[in-house]
Chain A
Amino acid sequence: MGSEEQHEQWPARLHVVTGKGGTGKTTVAAALALALARGGRRTLLVEVEGRQGIAQLFGTDPLPYEERRIATTPDGGEVRALAVDPEEALLEYLDMFYRLGAAGRALRKLGAIDFATTIAPGLRDVLLTGKVKEATTRSVNGRRAYHAVVLDAPPTGRIGRFLNVTTETARLAKVGPIKSQSEGVAALLRSPMTAVHVVTLLEEMPVQESADAIGELTALGIGIGKVIVNGARPPLLASRGRVTKQELKRGLAAAGLPADAGSVAALQAEAQAHLTRRELEESLRTELAELGRPMIELPQLADGVDAAALRTLADRLAGRG
């Protein structure tokens, strides 16, 4: 994609990818980081849930808390990946302001850090989003360190709370670094530099949750980017209401295949089930379109997701293929 074109399609600098669990957030986030790296750029793919989803997807060893190159594009682009660990982020943060040093590491062994981030989930979230903000706005020698940052975010059910850092940390300290940190994060998340993309399947619950999340985020003043329909199937039997036995019988005979009553009935049942499914998918598509956000569809890939598959998905996201 040319840089102008890319900028028009994906104008944000921080891309937050959410969606119902299992809809393909990690896959889509990775494909997007790859798409945006084309043209010799550098992007950062970040995960925050401690699940090592990126390492699993790319088939590498678990990622350390460190930005590492994970993929390149033929035209010299580069995707780096980072698994933000809330404990590490807290220590890094405390070090910055309070110089805990080795004492901090000792506390970690005791589980104290885990405890502190657990009693105040808002604290954990502001640390995670704070790290993402730092990477998004970082510059090196006067130039942006990353052309774009893509966040493989928590699922729709938790995304509102996760991104609503100022409210969640309001119960925490009223002054001091945490407060200014959360205000900085909130400002970035509510600016045009950030877009939240929602991944969904053409299934009822993911679509419902997408609509709910978009409503929730909009109310919070956080900008929605695209609705990404993942796992879309090719439109076979398009524009057909039903399929008759006669036409299948003729067709099977023409193809030189058995056209006995049993075979015809079996094929008809399969075609009919497909049509029922399509009809449902069509109405879900309409529901999604009514959300008023640009939509992109990514195909269901038959053999799972490997490097080649990610490139195919990246092509689609880049508006090609």
Chain B
Amino acid sequence: MPTATARLDVDALLADPSIRIVVCCGAGGVGKTTTAAALGVRAAERHGRRTVVLTIDPARRLAQSLGLTELDNTPRQVKGIDTDSSGGELHAMMLDMKRTFDEVVQAHTDPARAQEIFANPFYQAMSSTFSGTQEYMAMEKLGQLRSRDEWDLIVVDTPPSRSALDFLDAPARLSRFLDGRMLRLLMAPARAGGRSMFNLVTASFGVFSRVVQKVIGAQLLTDLSGFVAALDSMFGGFRQRAERTYQVLQDRETAFLLVAAPEPDAVREAQYFAERLVAERMPLAGLVLNRVHSTTLDLDAAASLAAADALDAAGDQAVTADALRVHAALVRQTEREAQVAQRFTAAFPAVPTVPVTAQPADIHDVDGLRTIGDALAA
């Protein structure tokens, strides 16, 4: 048997009724949103599944063609897809991080408390800008969609971040932050001359909190402690929810698809992520190598360039000469990409892979998504 790794069977995955969640992860800009949307279209059209796609910051034109113009943070049915014969449905939504955060607060506290939290400037900053909030809220939304038990299949896109790992790490970072331990420590007065073996540390804290008050302002610290105190009561709920969603991600009903571009950095990232999924016992279903180039003309780069130069020297076949140069560049690129892909395969021989051809233009409509879907399932 050849040593090549198994090919990822996307149709089998989408058709499998025991798979309820597909998470598309990967480094920034590799094609997570496109892949998620393409999988959604295919699951609904070909496999008759009642599907919802949770997208995050989709490109404008793609959002428009999915009908994602209402920002109401709930799924809307996508028109213009063909589910007559399959009986499936496609719904799509775009994550509104601030609104999702608001919903969590509302779910865990009384209206008066909620208003107090919403008015806190620190909450306002944090719910819209803290790095990690988006990841946390994506998980929260996934938890909500799943608990309603309305969907055969939930396809989840993940936030643009430098590293795919952020999706897994951010919720923990946020909850560590929210539990306020550091803040209490920071605001505690120094016990000068105390008997603690951490004398220097406690004394430092005294100096430090005074300095911090001066530097960042007493008002900010007051707002912050108000915020932390208000959240304290609901914090347990916060953490529990995040933990529950984390467990769902470890369940067999979930399949992670790792999307990567065939470039050295991206594939290195993909390796870290794959290792991490294994360590977390999260099911990695396969690798989508997106925007791969290929050629069907059997002519190597050197020969192609030599022929182009010869044609130019002879003088009257400029178009073919250029076409041959285009071909040579393509061959070189496919060779580089193959080498890079090989590195991942060597590191993870058990992970099934599928290449998706780079389309000449961006993908912004349902037709384009079908093309990607076909490539994914080829």
* Partner-B contacts on A (CB < 8 A): 20-22, 51, 94, 98, 100, 102-104, 106-107, 110-112, 115-116, 118-121, 123, 157, 161, 171-174, 176-178, 203-205, 208, 233-234, 236-237, 240, 243, 247-248, 250-252, 254-257, 262-263, 266-271, 273-274, 276-277, 280, 302, 304
Contacts and interface: CB of A to CB of B under 8 A. Distances in A.
Contacts of A107: 201, 204-205, 208
A111 B182 contact: yes
A120 B220 contact: yes
Contacts of A302: 329, 332
Nearest to A108: B204
A238 B124 CA distance: 52
Interface string B158-178: 001010000000000000010
Interface in B290-330: 295-299, 303, 307-308, 310-311, 314, 316-317, 319-327, 329-330
Q: At the interface, is chain A mostly helix, strand, loop or mixed?
A: helix
B207 interface: yes
Contact of A248 (B220, B319, B330): B319
Contact of B362 (A51, A100, A203, A270): A203
Interface string B60-89: 110000000000000000000000000000
B112 interface: no
B321 A251 contact: yes
Contacts of A280: 360-362
B212 A173 contact: no
Contact of B208 (A112, A121, A254): A112
A250 B320 contact: yes
Contact of B360 (A20, A100, A157, A273): A273
B121 interface: yes
Given A20-B29, A121-B129, A255 B320 contact: yes
21 contacts: A98-B214, A100-B204, A103-B200, A103-B204, A104-B204, A110-B185, A112-B182, A118-B177, A119-B220, A119-B224, A120-B220, A174-B217, A176-B214, A248-B319, A251-B320, A254-B320, A263-B298, A267-B323, A271-B326, A280-B362, A302-B332
Contacts, number: 170
A28 B183 CA distance: 40
Q: Which 9 A-B pairs have the closest CB atoms?
A: A251-B320, A103-B204, A266-B297, A251-B317, A276-B360, A173-B217, A255-B307, A271-B323, A236-B322
Nearest to B122: A119
Nearest to A251: B320
A255 B205 contact: no
B186 interface: yes
